[in-house]
Amino acid sequence: MPQLLLLNGPNLNLLGTREPEKYGHTTLEDIVENVKSVLAQHQIDLAHFQSNAEHELIERIHSAKQEDIRFIIFNPAAFTHTSVAIRDAILATDIPFIEVHLTNPHRREAFRHTSYFSDIAEAVIAGFGAKGYEFAALSAAEKINSL
């Protein structure tokens, strides 16, 4: 039974070819494999879901509650800056999560400086590229195993 959900928002399926000067060359498949291997060292199974659709992300968060997912690592991508609906879904499930961004949105356009998630996240990791997901996985594993 997976205990941790890695959730990725819109356009992150294109990682590797999408604006590589900003987002790097690592693909989403590579990121998932790297997170899996960090978690395996802590005997934690991973579920992964990526969607370009807001309602699909909301439904995945709802089902995480039923599956007893203990922790979420979430890059909401552009929905970071727009989605009250996804924020409410997370609040409804009350599952702790770490917000991850490949880039540091605060160094970018002003519209990226607002996050609907940072004030309810356990932690925010931004600007470390694909490595940020591994940092989040390590920290989430320690939290899960200490609960």
15 vs 23: CA distance, rounded Å: 7
Beta carbon nearer to ligand DQA, 3 or 80: 80
- Tell me if residue 124 falls in helix, strand or coil: strand
Give Cβ neighbours of residue 63 (< 8 Å, ≥ 6 apart).
Answer: none
Q: Is 23 in the active site?
A: yes
Q: How many CA atoms lie within 13 A of 100 on its CB side?
A: 29
Q: Is 25 in the active site?
A: no
Among residue numbers 86 through 125, which ones bind ligand DQA (CB under 6 A)?
101-103, 105, 112
The single residue of 42, 55, 101, 116 carrying the catalytic annotation is 101
The size of the interface with ligand DQA (CB under 6 A), counted in residues, is 10
Residues that bind ligand DQA (CB under 6 A): 11, 75, 77-78, 80, 101-103, 105, 112
